[in-house]
Homo-oligomer: A and B are copies of this chain.
Amino acid sequence: MPPSTHSRRLLPLFLGLFQGALLLFFALFVAYDEASAQAEDTILVANQVYSTFPFFQDIQVMLVVGLGLLLTFLPRYGFSALTHNFLLLIFSVQWALVLQGLLHHFHHGQIHLDLHKLLISEFAAVTVLISVGAILGRASPCQLLVMAICEIPVYLTSEWVIVTCLGVQDVGGTITIHVFSCYFGLGVSKGLFRATQQPLHPKETPTSRSDLMSLVGTLILWVFWPSFVAVLCQPGNAQHRAILNTLLAMNASAITTVVASSLLERDGRLSPGHLQNGSLAGGVAIGVVADMSMPPVAALALGSLSAVVCVLGFRFLAPLLGRKLTFHDQCGIHNLHGLPGILGAAASVVAVLVASKDTSGSHSFQPSPVGGNEWGAAGAVGGPQP
């Protein structure tokens, strides 16, 4: 058996063992919530499903179809990119479900599964999908899975520190997801490809067709990004604001990307890579402040600024990092997730400082009058219907 075939046998063994262990874990510990059959409870659950499920589906489309297509910009690697993205998502969601269940939801020897917990696991899985961008097309599927196994617990720890210990509100995951996964991915890339200053592989030059497919992926992500940012917000004003802020930021970053890219390229042409990434930079940056009560102009400005740093990152910082520190960042995740994420974090500090001067709390997050229901996202809606 030649070595390449040998390594190919590793993947099914690895995944098979994982699936077997998962079955065992589910058999022992996971159950559905046995809600009472009373009419009020039925209506409550129904309303929670109706208020969460459309957002959930939007996010699934983003991650499975949108992100998958975005990664097909390497023409010969298209099918693999789509497949690896899909596999990694599923694997990471289930792995996160297990870990989060053990850490947070383990009561009386059981974990009660619901749509909200799946959604939270999906958020954890996003970190893996982002980090992979740094080593796209260079790592074997097994290496990607090992990365996923390591990244999810590190993410859960970091998220616990940031949200629970430091009390940072980050509904859109700007810091907990985007900044974290960017530097995790860069670290993995550095670790895996430390010594080798590889030349550009021929399959790494996008063609006009692969750029088109990749842009379709960007547009799908662009359209559904507000759902990603707003799904975990408090229903009502906060969620409404999060949707609007995200829409404004993404509009601004798309236009600013065109401006910045055209000005920086020598022939004045818009670079496809800039457009595919810069249009989304606003969504990355806005996450941490999306539901705060700030003036709409702040969302616009943040979107514009994040597109500028993203394009500048692609044009100047990335080549510098590659040459000086021999960083490999295949998809430019540092420009899309790292820099705009840091910008968003800075913006949230400013917002909190400004708000604390105004005496009106920045996050007007009173617990909803309903309380006591596990699905934060659906509280206010399901609640007061008697």
List residues of chain A with CB under 8 Å of any chain B CB: 5, 8-9, 11-12, 15-16, 18-19, 22-23, 26-27, 30-32, 34-35, 37, 39-43, 45-51, 53-54, 57-58, 60-61, 64-65, 68-69, 72, 76, 78-79, 82-83, 86-87, 90-91, 93-94, 113-115, 118, 208, 211-213, 215-216, 219-220, 222-224, 226-227, 235-237, 239-241, 243-244, 247, 251-252, 254-256, 258-260, 262-263, 267-270, 272, 275, 279, 293, 295-297, 300-301, 304, 364, 366, 368-369, 380-381, 383-386
Closest 7 CB pairs of A and B: A8-B268, A42-B236, A26-B297, A46-B235, A12-B262, A27-B297, A12-B259
Min Cβ gap A142→B in Å is: 11
Give complex CA distance A296, B25 in Å.
Answer: 11
**What are 18 A-B contacts with C-beta separation under 8 Å?**
A8-B262, A9-B268, A12-B268, A16-B259, A32-B296, A34-B293, A45-B237, A45-B240, A49-B239, A49-B240, A50-B235, A54-B54, A64-B222, A65-B223, A79-B211, A83-B215, A118-B247, A385-B385
Give complex CA distance A252, B22 in Å.
Answer: 9
Contact across chains for B223 and A61 when beta carbons are under 8 A apart: yes
Min Cβ gap A280→B in Å is: 12
Contact across chains for B53 and A51 when beta carbons are under 8 A apart: no
Report the nearest B residue to A58, measured CB to CB.
Answer: B57
Give complex CA distance A119, B304 in Å.
Answer: 22
Please name all residues of chain B whose beta carbon is closer than 8 Å to the beta carbon of A236 when the two chains form the complex: 35, 41-43, 45-46, 49
Report the nearest B residue to A24, measured CB to CB.
Answer: B297
Chain A interface SS verdict (over half): helix
Report the nearest B residue to A307, measured CB to CB.
Answer: B19
Please name all residues of chain B whose beta carbon is closer than 8 Å to the beta carbon of A296 when the two chains form the complex: 26, 30-32, 113
Contact across chains for A87 and B37 when beta carbons are under 8 A apart: no
Please name all residues of chain B whose beta carbon is closer than 8 Å to the beta carbon of A39 when the two chains form the complex: 368-369, 380, 384
Contact across chains for B384 and A243 when beta carbons are under 8 A apart: no
Report the nearest B residue to A14, measured CB to CB.
Answer: B259
Please name all residues of chain B whose beta carbon is closer than 8 Å to the beta carbon of A256 when the two chains form the complex: 19
Give complex CA distance A86, B268 in Å.
Answer: 19
Give complex CA distance A369, B68 in Å.
Answer: 44
Give complex CA distance A69, B215 in Å.
Answer: 11
